[in-house]
Amino acid sequence: MIQNKTLLQLLFSFFLITQFCFAQVDVVYKDLVWSDEFTTNGAVNSNNWFHQTQIPAGGSWYNNELQHYTNSSTNSFLNSGFLNIVSKKESFTDQGVTKQYTSARLNSKFAFKYGRVDVRAKLPTESGTWPAIWMLGKNTNEDGGYFDATYGNTNWPASGEIDIMEHGIFPSESINFIQSALHTPSSNGNTVNKGGVIASDLANNYHIYSMNWSPNQISFLLDNVIYYTYNPTVKDANTWPFDKEQYLLLNIAMGGFAGTISSNFVQSSMVIDYVRVYQNTTVDTQAPANFTATIGKITGSTVELLLNATDDSGNVTYTISYGTGTTSTNSATGVQKSLIISNLFPITDYTFSVSATDATGNASPNNPIVLTAKTTVNTTTECSGTATEASQGLFTVGYKYDFQTSGTDVKITFELLDTDKSGVVAYLWKQTPFSESQMANVSGNIFTKTITGQTIGSTINYAVKFAYAGGLSVTKYFSYVVGNSCTLGVENSSELKQFFYPNPVENILYLQLLDDQNKIILTDILGKKIVEKLVQSTHNLDMSGFKPGLYFLKVKNSNGIQNIKIIKK
């Protein structure tokens, strides 16, 4: 290891990073804005780092940890071009509390929003040690933190936590397993938003632990290779508190989640070669070029948009407006993006206004591109089957899905068919408004969840996130009509030999029913009752005043109950 880093080395390192990662990360950050190369000997640079030593209320650090954090030169110091953070077995009394282990916890005095962090380090791997490279919101309310007195107005996890690297708290994993994680109000503590990877000989080899944070997503890399990306479908205060400045922390905790400390333990170190933060400080004036947008596949409820553009930043953001809805997506430069606009009404004309911008906000000169499409007749409802489509990640084999209505409850069951995934857990995603809930494991990789109190005839939209060791995969969203068995509701045919025509209908829907007295209920796609009445065997239902879209007609008589989907032109 060369101890003194030169400008040439920095430029060469950056060249390797950008060449390897340009196609991987969504935004390439090029300008070094803050760093510590640890080129001197002695004390830690107090201009860059703050020793956090104040014990939280209760006299102990979080997670049942056993150490005191100190500002002692034996727990953190610079030597031969490296920062050493040392955990030690020693009796130490501070703030009226005596503990048997000491360590160091450094806060960077630099905070930033969006960018890339690279930390080259060698880790302790002894039992009971918990080294970490991580970040907290500058606004975190944590007594004793560097920024707390001035900016600490938000409690954890609402302030957001980004764990770039943690080791030692995964007893079922390899000794060389490291993990990254995100803690937010929507998932914290034992968060589901995490991904890990196995490195080579952490105790003896230096590795580069990196985090690339853009307004769109947060990616984690080991030696410049991405192994986990966090990109929630809905970004709000619950899922994305990462729109404010964060600062860096370096520490080794002892015990707690790291387990039992060996009786033979004396001391161990995390040795750090450098810490570097990159952003894009040069004003970007180059707008996306070669912007194209076309219509792809069309169904009764979806329209596919095919989007492409190039930009020097490496990433393009596409914003789509239609009706009262707006959505956005991101894609690497020059790569065609397929975006499915879902939850549309059948046989309905839609106009899409599509714009392309870069991370700086530069807009394509041919913004907006306006596209028109008409959805088709929707004659199917997805109740069960097998699929491979992913809205995040990918599936090597695919998955099975099943929706069943019982009363006003819907039982949703998914099975992951991929055989290359381990430690699988599943979470049900509701599309609008977005929510996430854990599914119960039935057996193997089969998971189920029952949602209660649904409205018969309403349409629900759900996907499933499968989280596993090393990543996650999310299915596409499935639309299901509550109460539909997928054998009823076929237009112009019925086991009961009752007739409803024309369908699609523009003005009058003609009903030919089996009984002299029949109860009919007409609801819209949201489950709101439009018509409820008793009718004779021949009845004309005037729908001329109704808005175009999908409706559900329930007919109840002595022969049973029949559910019909009605398309209003």
Cα–Cα distance for residue pair 365/171, rounded to 1 Å: 54
Residue with tokens 């929707």, as numbered in its chain: 378
245 annotated active-site: no
How is the beta sheet containing 499-501 ordered, strand by strand? 499-501, 508-512, 538-542
**Phi, psi values for residue 257, rounded to 5°:** -60, -20
Which ranges of 86-238 would DSSP assign to H, the alpha helix? 148-151
| Tokens encoding 41 | 């000997």
Buried b (16+ CB within 10 A) or exposed e, 77-88: bbeebbbbbbbb
Cα of 296 vs its chain's centroid, Å: 26
In angstroms, the CA 149 to CA 211 distance is 27
Closest CA to 470 of 414, 394, 398: 394
How far is Cα 159 from Cα 249, in angstroms, rounded to an integer? 15
Of the candidates 166, 173, 304, 415, the residue annotated as catalytic is 166
Looking at 65, 142, 161, 415, which residue is catalytic?
161
DSSP secondary structure string for all residues of 102-144: EE-EEEEEEEESSEEEEEEEE---STTEEEEEEEEETTB--TT
Q: What does DSSP say about strands 97-103 and 67-69: parallel, antiparallel, or unpaired?
A: parallel
Residue with tokens 């780092």: 49
Distance, in Å, from the CA atom of 336 to the CA atom of 562, rounded to the nearest integer, reads: 44
Verify whether residue 506 is a known catalytic residue: no
Whole-number Å distance between alpha carbons of 238 and 159: 10
Task: Please list the active-site residues.
Answer: 161, 166
